[in-house]
Structure 1
Amino acid sequence: MPSIELHTVINATIETVFDLSRSIDLHKISTQQTNEEAIAGKTSGLIGFNESVTWRAKHFGIYQNLTSRITEFERPNYFADEMEQGAFQEFKHEHHFSEVNGETQMIDVFTYKSPFGVFGRLADTLFLEKYMTKLLIKRNRIVKEFAESGKWKALLK
């Protein structure tokens, strides 16, 4: 199974970064290129333990629905979401947060399994892992921008 690990250092409090990372509204902002829309479950605000969200998004020219649930939650240090229904055979996205020298270290670990056996593994190698990495990097860039600029105040009321 492919695993993507990203490290992002953010000059903001751990609580702010943690909450931005679970903000449905910020997720919508960070995925404008795929027209993501929360259509069921928690559709705005902050998602919490055992809550789910269903996203509708356009990837590779095809609209898809994906439902994920928060399965682990330890504010402000860690949460994980796992796919319940969607295009992957399975995925788990772990979000780790720690304070280091007055800044927040955010570590994402995204592990997934593609469907379709050998064809899915071929897709991983050819383009899917790179595509998913780019999506996560963009999302983290937006979290960092909002946390460091004060824009977070409009989302975390």
Structure 2
Amino acid sequence: MKVYKLETVQHINASIEECWDFFSSPKNLQLITPNDMSFEIQDFDGKRMYPGQVITYTLKPLLGIKINWMTIITVSQQNEYFVDEQRFGPYALWHHKHYFEPTANGTKMTDVVHYALPFGHLGRLANTIMVKNKLKSIFEYRYKKIEETFNSK
């Protein structure tokens, strides 16, 4: 299985506490997900993020095909980091780490995603043709929405 890595860094003009408050709420996922993906939370307990929390949602990531996705928060350290992993969805592996570090004028947020696709060589081809670029565009959209939310004040 070929594992790919996507890493992004963003500086946010807000305190660690403000960032954690925003990113630890699954409700805010929809705000930073492109509208054309039709992201919709199906089930979560309404609580702030904690290890073991399950979030299920539907979305249309490619070609308008609706998929179900189940994420579990595997680890979480308040104001420092959390990890979400796909338990059910389109990837053979999805492991997404979110780090928050204080800076002189706000917070440095780093996302590291390790992912793999099913179907061997066909999955590798799909990554080359569309998945890699789609993920980059999702994270670019997210970057812009976070800029609008925190850095345009």
Q: What's the TM-score, normalizing by structure 1? A: 0.87
Once the two structures are TM-superposed, the CA of residue 45 in structure 1 deviates from its matched residue by: 5.8
Once the two structures are TM-superposed, the CA of residue 78 in structure 1 deviates from its matched residue by: 0.5
SS in 2 for 1:12: coil
Once the two structures are TM-superposed, the CA of residue 40 in structure 1 deviates from its matched residue by: 1.8
SS in 2 for 1:59: coil
1:87 aligns with 2:90: yes
Which residue of the partner structure matches residue 7 of structure 2?
5
Is the 1:2–1:124 contact (alpha carbons within 8 Å) kept by the matching residues of 2? no
1:115 aligns with 2:110: no
Which residue of the partner structure matches residue 100 of structure 2?
97
1:57 aligns with 2:41: no
Is the 2:50–2:75 contact (alpha carbons within 8 Å) kept by the matching residues of 1? no
Once the two structures are TM-superposed, the CA of residue 144 in structure 1 deviates from its matched residue by: 3.5
SS in 1 for 2:91: coil
- Is the alpha carbon distance of 1:73 and 1:107 closer, same or farther for their aligned partners in structure 2, counting shifts above 3 Å? same
- Is the alpha carbon distance of 1:107 and 1:133 closer, same or farther for their aligned partners in structure 2, counting shifts above 3 Å? same
User: Structure 1: 5+ residue runs without aligned partners?
Assistant: 151-157
| Pairwise CA RMSD | 1.7
1:78 aligns with 2:81: yes
Once the two structures are TM-superposed, the CA of residue 102 in structure 1 deviates from its matched residue by: 2.3
Equivalent pairs counted in the alignment come to: 149
Measured in 2, the distance between the counterparts of 1:144 and 1:97 equals 16
Q: What's the TM-score, normalizing by structure 2? A: 0.89
Partner AA of 2:52 in structure 1: N
Q: Give a deviation string over 1:85-105, Cα, whole Å, max 9, x none.
A: 001011100001101212200
Measured in 2, the distance between the counterparts of 1:142 and 1:22 equals 16
Measured in 1, the distance between the counterparts of 2:142 and 2:150 equals 12
Tell me which moved more, 63-72 or 19-28: 19-28
